[in-house]
C-alpha cells in the first residue's frame, strides 16, 4: 500500500519554515535508508545460509527460473506500490548479481573432486593462468606446463586427474599427440580452444580415457564466472567427466552442451564473422582517417555504443583474434561469403534503388521475426545506461 504524505500545501501555508519541513523529511528518509541497509544485511545473512547448503551438496549457483520468477514478482509488487517496475527490476537484478558474486567467491574455495591433481598445459598463458587461479583457490593440486617443461613430462603427468590444454589453436593437436602417451588412463583430457571438431578428434584418437571439449565464452580479464557461458562437447566417458562440469557450474558458469559440429558452425557466426566484421569497420574508418572524437560530438547513443565495441576490439591482442578468425578453412570460407554478400549490393547502390532496399529490408525483418522486439528492448536498455554515463 502507498503511504500517504505527511506534508501538504495547507501545512506549509500555516507558517511552517520550509527548511525545517525539509530537514524533518530528510531525517525520515535517512531512517528509511538505514532500514533498507539493515534489510539488505538480513538478506545477505540468509544468502550465507544458502551458500553453506550449496557448498555441502555441491549445488549450482545460478538458477535462471528462480531469478526470473523473483523479478516478475517484484515488478508486480512495484506496480501495486505505485513504483516504476523497470526501476525495481534494475535494483533487484543488481542485488541478485551481488548475491551470486558472493556465492561464487565462496564456492571458488570448494573443490568438487577433493584431492585431485590438475595439469594446465599452457598455464603461463593468460587463459591458462586464469584457470590455474580458480583450481588453486578450490584446493586442487595444480601443476603447470609450458614449452620448456617437456623434459619433465612424466613427473608432471604422474597420478594426474585432469589435463587441461590451453594453447594456441594451431598447435593444439600437436600438443595433444605429444602429451597423451604420458597420461594415466583414468585422467580426463580436455581442451579450451574456440574450435572443437579437430581438437576433440585428436583427443579421442590419442587418449583412451575420458575426453571432453570445453570452450569458455569469456576472456581472462573476467573477474567472476557468474553467468559466464562455457560450452562443452562430449567426447568419451561423460560420467567420468561430470565432476569437471559440476566444478565449473559451482563456480557460477552456465554450462551449455553441444556436439562439436554444431559448436563450430555456430561459433563461426558468433565469433569469427562478428570479429571480422568489426575489424573491417575499424579498418575502413582508419583508411578514411575519420576523426573519431569529432564524430562522437555528433553521435547518437547507438553510434557511441557501436564505435565503442569497435574500439574495444583494437584495444586487445591481435594474435588472439587472428587465431579465432582464421581458425579453420570453414571459417575463412564463411568470411568470403560475407564479403561477397556485401558486394552483391553494389548494383543497388549504383542505381540508388530505394525500392529494392526496402524490399530486402522487409524480407530480412520478417526473417528476424519476434527477435527484433527483444533486440529493441535490450538495446534500449543499453542505450539508456550509456546515456546515464555520458
In a domain, 132, yes or no: yes
In a domain, 14, yes or no: no
pLDDT in tens, the chain (390 residues): 455 555 555 555 566 788 888 999 999 999 999 999 999 999 988 888 887 787 677 676 667 678 888 888 999 999 999 999 888 988 998 888 888 777 766 655 678 898 999 999 999 899 999 999 999 999 999 999 998 899 999 999 999 999 999 999 989 999 999 999 999 999 999 999 999 999 999 999 999 999 999 999 998 888 888 889 999 999 999 999 999 999 998 888 899 999 999 999 999 999 999 999 999 999 999 999 999 999 989 888 889 889 999 999 999 889 889 989 998 899 999 999 999 999 999 999 999 999 999 999 999 999 999 899 888 888 888 888 788 776
pLDDT at residue 263, rounded to an integer: 97
In a shared domain, residues 219 and 128: yes
Domain-terminating residue out of 237, 258, 279: 258
The 8-class DSSP code of residue 3 comes to: P
Measured between alpha carbons, how far is 263 from 215 in angstroms, rounded to an integer? 9
SS3 99: helix
In a domain, 312, yes or no: yes
In a shared domain, residues 32 and 52: yes
Question: Is beta strand 229-236 parallel, antiparallel or unpaired with respect to 211-216?
Answer: antiparallel
Which CATH number belongs to the domain containing residue 232 in this structure?
A: 3.40.50.720
In a shared domain, residues 245 and 324: no
C-alpha R_g of the chain = 27
- Terminal C-alpha separation, the chain: 36
C-alpha count within 13 angstroms, C-beta hemisphere, residue 44: 11
In a shared domain, residues 151 and 233: yes
Which CATH number belongs to the domain containing residue 95 in this structure?
A: 1.20.59.10
pLDDT at residue 52, rounded to an integer: 79
Domain span holding position 297: 263-389
Measured between alpha carbons, how far is 160 from 173 in angstroms, rounded to an integer? 20
Number of domains in the chain: 3
In a domain, 372, yes or no: yes
Question: Residue 86 is placed in which grid cell?
Answer: 523497470
Taking Cα atoms as reference points, which of 325, 323, 344, 345 lies closest to residue 335?
325
In a domain, 103, yes or no: yes
In a domain, 347, yes or no: yes
Domain-terminating residue out of 107, 133, 149: 107
In a shared domain, residues 37 and 80: yes
In a shared domain, residues 170 and 244: yes
For residues 119 and 157, the answer to whether their CB atoms sit within 8 Å is: yes
Domain-terminating residue out of 63, 82, 107: 107
Q: Is the pTM of this model over 0.95?
A: no
In a shared domain, residues 268 and 198: no
pLDDT at residue 51, rounded to an integer: 75
Question: Is beta strand 229-236 parallel, antiparallel or unpaired with respect to 254-257?
Answer: parallel
In a shared domain, residues 247 and 216: yes
Q: Give long-range contacts, CB 8 A cutoff, 24+ apart: 60-65.
A: 60/249, 60/250, 61/100, 61/103, 61/104, 61/107, 61/226, 61/249, 61/250, 61/251, 61/252, 62/100, 62/226, 62/227, 62/252, 62/254
Amino acid at each position: 500500500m502507498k503511504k500517504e504524505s505527511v506534508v501538504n500545501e495547507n501545512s506549509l501555508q500555516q507558517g511552517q519554515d520550509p527548511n525545517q519541513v525539509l530537514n524533518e523529511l530528510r531525517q525520515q528518509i535517512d531512517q528509511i535508508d538505514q532500514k533498507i541497509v539493515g534489510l539488505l544485511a538480513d538478506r545477505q545473512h540468509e544468502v550465507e545460509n544458502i551458500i553453506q547448503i550449496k557448498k555441502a551438496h555441491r549445488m549450482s549457483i545460478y538458477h535462471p527460473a528462480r531469478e526470473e520468477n523473483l523479478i516478475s514478482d517484484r515488478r508486480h509488487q512495484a506496480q501495486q506500490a505505485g513504483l516504476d517496475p523497470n526501476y525495481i527490476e534494475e535494483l533487484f537484478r543488481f542485488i541478485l548479481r551481488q548475491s551470486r558474486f558472493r556465492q561464487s567467491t565462496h564456492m571458488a574455495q570448494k573443490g568438487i573432486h577433493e584431492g585431485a591433481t590438475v595439469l594446465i598445459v599452457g598455464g603461463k598463458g593468460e587463459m591458462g593462468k586464469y584457470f590455474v587461479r580458480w583450481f588453486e583457490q578450490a584446493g586442487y593440486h595444480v601443476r603447470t606446463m609450458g614449452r620448456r617443461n617437456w623434459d619433465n613430462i612424466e613427473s608432471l603427468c604422474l597420478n594426474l586427474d585432469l589435463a587441461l590444454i590451453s594453447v594456441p589453436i594451431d598447435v593444439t593437436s600437436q600438443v595433444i599427440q605429444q602429451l597423451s602417451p604420458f597420461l594415466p588412463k583414468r585422467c580426463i583430457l580436455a581442451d579450451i580452444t574456440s574450435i572443437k571438431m579437430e581438437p576433440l578428434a585428436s583427443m579421442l584418437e590419442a587418449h583412451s580415457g575420458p575426453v571432453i571439449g570445453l570452450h569458455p565464452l569469456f576472456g581472462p580479464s573476467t573477474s567472476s564466472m557468474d553467468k559466464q557461458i562455457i560450452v562443452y562437447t562430449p567426447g568419451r566417458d561423460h560420467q567420468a567427466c561430470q565432476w569437471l562440469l559440476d566444478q565449473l557450474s559451482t563456480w557460477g558458469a552456465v554450462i551449455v552442451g553441444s556436439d562439436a559440429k554444431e559448436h563450430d558452425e555456430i561459433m563461426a557466426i558468433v565469433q569469427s564473422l562478428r570479429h571480422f566484421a568489426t575489424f573491417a569497420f575499424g579498418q575502413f574508418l582508419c583508411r578514411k582517417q575519420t576523426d573519431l572524437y569529432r564524430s562522437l560530438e555528433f553521435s547518437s547513443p547507438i553510434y557511441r555504443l557501436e564505435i565503442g565495441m569497435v574500439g574495444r576490439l583494437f584495444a586487445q591482442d591481435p594474435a588472439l583474434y587472428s587465431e579465432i578468425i582464421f581458425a579453420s578453412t570453414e571459417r575463412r570460407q564463411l568470411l568470403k561469403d560475407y564479403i561477397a554478400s556485401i558486394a552483391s549490393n553494389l548494383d543497388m547502390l549504383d542505381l540508388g534503388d530505394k525500392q529494392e532496399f526496402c524490399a530486402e529490408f522487409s524480407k530480412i525483418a520478417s526473417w528476424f521475426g519476434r527477435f527484433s522486439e527483444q533486440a529493441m528492448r535490450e538495446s534500449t536498455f543499453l542505450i539508456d545506461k550509456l546515456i546515464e554515463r555520458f
